[in-house]
Chain A
Amino acid sequence: MTELVVSDLTVEYGSGGYVVRPLNHLSFVAHDGELVVLLGPSGCGKTTLLSCLAGLLTPTSGSITLDGLEVCGLSGRALADYRRSAVGVVFQAFNLLPSLTAQGNVVAPLRLAGVRRRPANARAVELLERVGLAERLDHRPRALSGGQQQRVAIARALVHDPRLVLADEPTAHLDHVQVEGVLRLIRELAEPGRLVLVATHDDRVTHLADRVVELVPQEDSVDREPELIRLEPGQVLFRQGDRGELVYVVEDGKVEIYRELADGGEEPLRIMGPGDYFGELGPTLRLPRSASARADGAVSVTSYTLRRFRREYPGLARDVLVDRAVPTGD
């Protein structure tokens, strides 16, 4: 029985001098035989998560456990064995080696693992027949359609019978006819003894999933009342990289907006005073917070859900990128 447990996973790195946190305390569980879809827009951390699950990227904190094996603690030969035997990856751009035929591409992981030529070739032929490419064994990638290349990539991911199959945007480069065939194939992969994780922003894939993990929380369908929040001097309202759903309006006092730098420093951006609003970009574009907010002295702010804020201040869609004071009733 295969089980994947992702617990409090965080990935943080410096980019252009700033701290970027594509994964922030993510947790979920996937069970044996499930097709799990990791859903989220571009930039939400799907590929980062897949890299961690494939043992190609070490997270900043948290854990990944596959059948009791702690992946994050692996190194050297143990890590190489994990990559070679436990995980199969279907990359977004197929990433077939252009110099190898379809059969050669599927054989490659086995040959790299030291499997002898004859059994490796036999296994590759078996898998290519399974994905419907028995007559394309000797074709190079440039002679295959997008859908056929994707099926070769799937066969390659399965060649060493992995317990965990990761697929990154498997429908990204396909037309609707090809998509149908690939999705059907991916659905078939999820069987007892194997887990399939598909990272995608394509909603169509979710209809096939046993479970959907949303990396970006959906906009709240329930409209909450605005809430007045009082902050002590120096208290942090939200941090760069957090997922946020609320927009804030300063009622009284000042809020300092700043960026956290990779070297531990801070870059002040602006001071928001009474009537100013902030924090609208994250919920609007469903992105992590791009800066942190901290009380500059005692301050009161009102928090709104995005839906409520749009209703209260209809000019938001037009002015979302412009600093503008909220018109007051006075």
Chain B
Amino acid sequence: MFAITLRDLQFRSRQFLIAVLGAGLVFAMTLLLAGMAASFYAEINHTVRSVGVDAWVLPKGTTGPFTAVGSLPTSTVSAVSALPGVRAAGPLAITPEAAQDGTRYVRVTMIGAPVGGLGTLTPSRGRPVSADGQAVVDSRLHVGIGHPFTVSGQSFTVVGLVSGHTLNGGSPDVWITLHDAQQLLFGGRPLATAIVTKGVPTASPTGYEVLTSTAVRQDTLRPMQSAVQSVDNSRKFMWVVAAVIVAALVYVSALQRVRDFAVLKAMGASSRSLFGGVALQAVVVTLAAALLGGLIANLLKPLYPLPVAIPFSAFLLLPVSAVVVGIFASLVALRRAISVDPALAFGAA
């Protein structure tokens, strides 16, 4: 039955190729959607990790350093440094802004840190910020080293580049000096939006609260939660679409093969082996579609403005899910395959 099944696939190859293409496109969409959902988590993890600290001290009532702009005096650093569990502390000023490059405006997240202090980022290309007017930027800002840009009228020159450092669905992170950030945000006053620490304080200073980096990640994800959930729901729906495509093919194929089933039964094939053949065809189609989907997803990834970080686990899970989809899709033909009366083989053409 295995050989007969594969020969039938070969015989109806055009029909099956159409289903492979259709299901493959759908599988590509599931991978891309998985990548989009994963990228929301990935960019948050990456940005928070890049600050390189263990805890964040914020004014009470501020939900998080990347979701709200609170203010506290930079002099608070000394009080925080003295807290038990803290090995080092430093101020950061974080604010969303719009960067202008010629006539192009790009939403960015400005992270201001003291030169050489906590929160300073060493870029993969170029050098860290060492003076006012300098910036290390994510490559999604699409500017090169030495390129100028302005933020609220303040000019910056790119001295370093990183990649994968974004927030809010692909908005680039921009590192500048604390002083420049204070100019943008507080008119130059000695304020910060958070005090970051190495080591986790065991107590909070009065009027402030301490968030671990984990809590900061969770808080930063919160505004994106509904978007992530929507993308994830769409991804799951795509599996249903893929199953329907394959099921339609399998059902039509079973209708076309009713007489073949009758003849095979008359020759001694069992209903179980007939259904096994149908299921095998469905699984071959879905596995081929999974392979095609992986290739298409990788080709389409760069075309998306949103970051798409398809996790490797999604590629590993795809063929397994494809097999399950194939088996479920073949169930539509189950009744047709097992209920065929072998006496039908005696009928006229």
Contact = CB atoms under 8 A, between A and B. Distances in A.
A123 B22 CA distance: 42
Contact of A108 (B4, B11, B346): B4
A140 B269 CA distance: 21
Interface string B252-273: 0000000110111011111001
Given A95-B263, A100-B4, A112 B346 contact: no
Interface range on chain A (Cβ under 8 Å from partner): 20 to 34
Interface stretch (A51-59, A67-75, A313-321): A51-59
Interface string A171-192: 0110000000000000000000
Contacts of B270: 80
B348 A92 contact: yes
Interface residues of B, number: 27
Interface string A93-137: 101011110001000110111000000000000000000000000
A47 interface: yes
A246 interface: no
A258 interface: no
A111 B3 contact: yes
B18 interface: no
A91 interface: yes
A83 interface: yes
A91 B345 CA distance: 7
B345 to A, nearest CB: 6
B7 interface: yes
A100 B262 CA distance: 16
A226 B347 CA distance: 41
A91 B346 contact: yes
Nearest to A113: B268
B10 interface: yes
B58 to A, nearest CB: 69
Nearest to A199: B346
A57 B12 CA distance: 32
A83 B270 CA distance: 12
Most chain A CB within 10 A, of B3, B259, B262, B267, is at B267
A318 B220 CA distance: 94
Contact of B7 (A51, A83, A99, A168): A99
Contacts of B267: 83-84, 108-109, 112
Nearest to A89: B266
A39 interface: no
A10 to B, nearest CB: 17
Given A80-B270, A109-B267, A95 B7 contact: no
Contacts of B347: 47, 92-93
A92 B264 CA distance: 15
A164 interface: no
B259 to A, nearest CB: 7
Given A93-B349, A112-B267, A112-B269, A56 B3 contact: no
Nearest to B265: A56
Most chain A CB within 10 A, of B3, B345, B346, is at B346
A50 interface: yes
B266 A100 contact: no
Contacts of B343: 51, 56-57
Interface string B309-349: 00000000000000000000000000000000111011111
Contacts of B10: 99
A8 to B, nearest CB: 21
Contacts of A84: 267-268
A95 B345 contact: yes
Contacts of B12: 99
A113 B273 CA distance: 12
B300 interface: no
Contacts of A54: 266, 346
A92 B349 CA distance: 8
Contacts of B263: 91, 95, 97
A56 B4 contact: no
A99 B8 contact: yes
B348 A56 contact: no
A56 B267 CA distance: 10
A6 to B, nearest CB: 17
B15 to A, nearest CB: 12
A112 B268 contact: yes
Contacts of B269: 112
A98 B258 CA distance: 13
A145 to B, nearest CB: 15
Contact of A95 (B8, B259, B268): B259
Contacts of A51: 343, 346
B68 interface: no
Nearest to A98: B11
Nearest to A88: B267
B346 A50 contact: yes
Nearest to A94: B349
Contacts of B345: 56, 89, 91, 95
B10 to A, nearest CB: 7
9 contacts: A47-B346, A57-B343, A92-B346, A92-B349, A99-B8, A99-B12, A104-B3, A112-B264, A112-B273
Given A95-B259, A95-B262, A100-B4, 5 more contacts: A54-B266, A56-B266, A83-B266, A97-B7, A111-B1
Interface of B: 1, 3-4, 7-8, 10-12, 259-260, 262-264, 266-270, 273, 341-343, 345-349
Interface of A: 47, 50-51, 54, 56-57, 80, 83-84, 89, 91-93, 95, 97-100, 104, 108-109, 111-113, 140, 168, 172-173
